[in-house]
Amino acid sequence: MIYVDHAATSFPKPAPVAAEMDRFMRDDAANPGRGGYKLVRRAEARMAEVRSQLARFVNADGPDEQMIFTYSATDGLNIGIRGVVQPGDRVVIDQVAHNSISRPLTAMAGRGEVDLVRIVPPDAAGIVDPRQIADALDAAPTRLVAIVQASNVLGILNPIREIGAICRDRGVLFLVDAAQSIGAVPIDVAADGIDLLAFPGHKGLQGPPGTGGLWVGPRAAEVIQPLVREGGTGGDSAYPTQPPIWPHWLEAGTHNTAGISGLGAGLDWIDARGGPAAILEHERELVRPLIEMLADDDRFTLYGPGPDRLADRIGLVSFNVNGLRPAETADLLDREFDICVRAGLHCAPGAHRHMGSFPDGAVRVSVGPMNTADEMAALVGALGLIAARATQPSMSSQASPTG
Ligand SMILES: Cc1ncc(COP(=O)(O)O)c(C=O)c1O
């Protein structure tokens, strides 16, 4: 089997991740903060260690405790967005935003919890032009800019540092959705001017499902409210409401401690492979032959930047085999070649509208650090065979859509 759906979740997880989860479950899995006995303290110490690892991983410019554990990127985005936006506020997002940014904001606008959501269109390749953000911010007072660092559909990288500087200059909070970038793209929240960084643990960081994080920088920490969940924190039980103490302020309830412990092993594993910059280089080289083939062969439609602009990309490529619906292509890859890809709208309909692939969507290939050049050659070969057969009239009726 060839797994190239790492944008959905990384698979397989590195062996040390599973080993660490197993160790934690057997040896340390008491509930952090809930008690003072030695076992609890060991669990607490492991959580603090991983929290600190995560803070260092993104060069956090504040106390480790402002690195909040979440259940996923979606969870962190909701905690960040709902926590800082108030009725009457204006928010700027980009058109390729994932549903985990656009849906909460659209629903909040419907309920009158935010005044206006301004959607900035990207350039033809799908990349946000920082001047568009500056113009949008100069047009009216704005509370928050929320941008995806790497699109989960187009594979493009946005100019986060430039947008961060624009937000800083104007006193606007900057939230970055790092779901597709963390682990495979170096992130420096201090240098990039990021106030809120939401990310999953289960994709590029190689951790298990049910893990993620939200970095709350100093400016956001002054204003953010716990509007997604309030409740038990272990200590500080006498407070009638959520104790204003980090990380408890935003981290109510028992977390996925075994998963977080495994996530720490994932971070070590990334370090051992040379860190995100080395992984990005490896992943770009993996997708290079695929992008070249898709760009050169008119039986395919490639979305996003071409082979001459690999530096604008992560290791994620969306395309279609002309004449086949994306679900049909994905189904053929799975059934006949044992290759796992994702077809459809990828929870980001705005990105597909932008590139003209709405409503059927596209086929998405997303690689991980463990994929090999041989696997990519097999994928390119399989797509060549599928494209050759797509010209045969009976082709479409042979495949069943997978959605
Ligand atoms: C750009 C982007 N944002 C947010 C998410 C949501 O991530 P999670 O599944 O961890 O909630 C995804 C998931 O694919 C994504 O690609």
How much of the chain exceeds pLDDT 70, in percent?
Answer: 97
Q: The domain that contains 175 carries what CATH number?
A: 3.40.640.10
pLDDT band of 397, cuts 50, 70, 90: very low
179: Cβ below 6 Å to ligand 1? yes
177 within some domain: yes
Q: Are residues 250 and 284 in the same domain?
A: no
- Record the pTM: 0.95
Residue 289 and residue 380 in contact, taking contact as beta carbons nearer than 8 Å: yes
136 within some domain: yes
Q: Are residues 189 and 330 in the same domain?
A: no
Question: What average pLDDT does the segment 150-179 reach?
Answer: 97
Q: What pLDDT score was predicted for residue 394?
A: 58
Ligand 1 centroid–CA 98 distance in Å is: 7
Q: Are residues 267 and 305 in the same domain?
A: no
Q: Are residues 138 and 228 in the same domain?
A: yes
**Bigger pLDDT: 74 vs 352:** 74
- Ligand 1 atom nearest residue 346's Cα: 14
**Bigger pLDDT: 233 vs 2:** 2
Q: Are residues 232 and 374 in the same domain?
A: no
pLDDT band of 141, cuts 50, 70, 90: very high
Ligand 1 centroid–CA 290 distance in Å is: 24
pLDDT band of 116, cuts 50, 70, 90: confident
Q: What pLDDT score was predicted for residue 294?
A: 97
Q: What pLDDT score was predicted for residue 395?
A: 52
CA angle 205, 208, 213 (to 5 degrees): 55
Q: Which of 32-36, 137-141, 266-270 has the lowest mean pLDDT?
A: 32-36
Residue 344 and residue 329 in contact, taking contact as beta carbons nearer than 8 Å: no
94 within some domain: yes
Q: What are the CA-CA distances from residue 400 to residues 76, 343, 395 (Å)?
A: 36, 13, 11
Does 398 have pLDDT greater than 60? no
Q: What pLDDT score was predicted for residue 267?
A: 98
212: Cβ below 6 Å to ligand 1? yes
Beta partners for residue 119, in sequence order: 93
Q: Which of 272, 297, 320 is the last residue of a domain?
A: 272
Q: Are residues 258 and 298 in the same domain?
A: no
Q: Which of 272, 287, 318 is the last residue of a domain?
A: 272
Instruction: Considering the candidates 29, 109, 134, 347, report the single residue annotated as catalytic.
Output: 347
Question: What average pLDDT does the segment 130-150 reach?
Answer: 96
303 within some domain: yes
Q: Are residues 324 and 386 in the same domain?
A: yes
Q: Which of 272, 288, 320 is the last residue of a domain?
A: 272
Ligand 1 centroid–CA 26 distance in Å is: 31
Q: What are the pLDDT digits (tens) for 78-98?
A: 999 999 999 999 999 998 899
What number of other Cβ atoms are within 10 A of residue 254's Cβ?
12
Q: The domain that contains 369 carries what CATH number?
A: 3.90.1150.10
Q: What are the pLDDT digits (tens) for 8-18?
A: 999 999 999 99
Q: Are residues 113 and 177 in the same domain?
A: yes
Question: What average pLDDT does the segment 185-214 reach?
Answer: 98
212 within some domain: yes
Asked if residue 244 has a cis previous peptide bond (ω within 30° of 0), the answer is: no
Cβ neighbourhood burial of 283 (10 Å; 0-12, 13-18, 19+): buried
What is the average pLDDT score of the chain?
Answer: 94
The residue range of the domain holding 342 is 2-8+276-398
53: Cβ below 6 Å to ligand 1? no
403 within some domain: no
Q: Are residues 177 and 98 in the same domain?
A: yes
Q: What are the pLDDT digits (tens) for 290-317?
A: 999 999 999 999 999 999 999 999 999 9
Q: Are residues 202 and 311 in the same domain?
A: no
pLDDT band of 400, cuts 50, 70, 90: very low
Number of domains in the chain: 2
Q: Give the HSE-up count for residue 183: Cα atoms under 13 Å, Cβ half-sphere.
A: 31
Q: Are residues 285 and 321 in the same domain?
A: yes
pLDDT band of 30, cuts 50, 70, 90: very high
Q: What pLDDT score was predicted for residue 240?
A: 93
Q: What are the CA-CA distances from residue 49 to residues 19, 35, 227 (Å)?
A: 17, 19, 27
Q: Are residues 236 and 182 in the same domain?
A: yes
100: Cβ below 6 Å to ligand 1? yes
